[in-house]
Structure 1
Amino acid sequence: MREHIEAARKKNGEAEAVTLIALILVCPLRNTACPGVAVNVILQSNEKDARMAHARWHHILTESQRHALKTVDDWNCSTGNYSDFLTHMHKAWHYLLHAEFHQAKIDYHYRDPKTGRHVMIDGEPKAWDLERCLRERYANSGDPVRLNAELFVALRNKVEHRYEHNLKIATCGKAQALVMNYEQEMVDHFGSKYSLADRLRFPVSLQALTAAGREQLEVAAKKLPKQTRDLVAKFEAAIGPDVLDDLRYDYRVRLVPIVGSKTDADLAIDFVKLDELTEDAQGHGRGRA
């Protein structure tokens, strides 16, 4: 009997040993197998509960990643739907922040200000919406990551189906930032093993890589309805130039073909940080001649 108690204490702590002692005390003395049975039942039950409790945030994060991957698939697909991109990226960010809060044991549910009790919907506590999550995660209202995500929350509520293609073109850099910010937030909080980089690829594009395609992009961007253009303009009017130029708010790249001999170590796509370039190269990167 003593060895069973010690085993329980070493494996799962003092609380389990106390529970085991209690079960043994009420166990009939004539049943000599009872202590061993009690040990097995408790250990199996506690191990299962521990796995479930530990894995809760992981399940939420997995759902977030599923939506993020679907998001990029929708964006890169020639028949992809922009409203689907907005919906799935919204959910990806939403679940990601819920997973962070859950792991940190932060209660991310609304409470009634009068009673202090959870607000209930269909018998379940009402979880914070994405806007509330962003405010809690990024306390600085001028944070470029928060502003980028908040812009897409606003666009998601206003997108019109017939202008989806135009909106996709006009917000391309911001959408790229939205996805990259998501990846960075996830890796920073949960570690590189949760990165999606090995499952995402740089898309092959014709529109942005040819002169005719570039003209089509510029024309399409100008055809956005006034309501949508006004929404973006009003949103950005309250943002300082430093944030507007921040790659975490609007990720813009200039593709330069690589010529010359190639080695086995060369990559087809090689991203270079702007601050690592010469002043002349930085000028071209910023669009100056």
Structure 2
Amino acid sequence: MSDVSRPAPEDPFVTHRGLLFTVAYEILGSAADAEDVLQESWLRWASADRDDVRDPRAYLVRTVTRQSLNLLRTASRRREEYVGPWLPEPLLTTADVAEDVVLAESVSVAMLTVLETLGPTERAVFVLREVFDVPFDEIADAVGKTPAAVRQIAHRARDHVAARRPRVAVDASEHDLAVQRFIAVMNSGDVQGLMDVLAPDVVSVTDSGGLVRHAARRPLHGADRVVAFLQGSIAKLDTAFTVIPLRVNGMLAAGIQVGGELLAAVSFTVEEGRITQVFSVANPGKLSGLDAEAPLAR
């Protein structure tokens, strides 16, 4: 590998790589796309005149944001042709991510799903301002808008997200307890226990990309429908399954295994001790991010 393609350990790109990956991932919702953005951004950084760069961190965030926006606009067209619901690519994360409340919420599958309802520029502005506290003038430079326009965009995006995020703030222990109950009742086959841990108006969304048989291609509404569908899907499995705990996108989640192979990663939203949203990623191409812990940072 040439020197151009391998940054030195003390290079600012290496120092800020966790931050840059997180910015790209939150804008794109895809670890694979985020890695592509980092590769392109590194090439641009390697060829930049460092004497002209007063603030390497700001320069790199701006570069990653611009590359992410370019890719997001292309990805948005691809997602219009996607079979069934599209969910963010899940990441295996370390326990310390949960200690940063802002970071943990911002990378949660529930929040990333809300961010999917924003336009590309709105999403980038929201992420940079609300998660990373980037000054308005730096955001303006990154997205090609005036600072005044960015302030308006940030206000609209904040209101949009606030209207769609979970209604009640839940601490990690309450969330973990509900997920642990879900895992236990799934492994025991306790149907009533499953009904009890799900809220009556629970919504279940499955992303299979059309590649998994028997996966729901539309959201399921209500505990009765969700439980009935799970029972039907389990009955169609050729071998026994196991549900294991995973730390996904900063929060406790569940992994469904058959014969030791991970078939789905399931994330949750919890309110008042019960599960209100279930996000299942079963598209095999989206499970590769669970092979190693992701380097998330703010």
Class of the TM-score when normalised by the shorter of the 2 chains: under 0.3
Name the one with the larger strand percent: 2
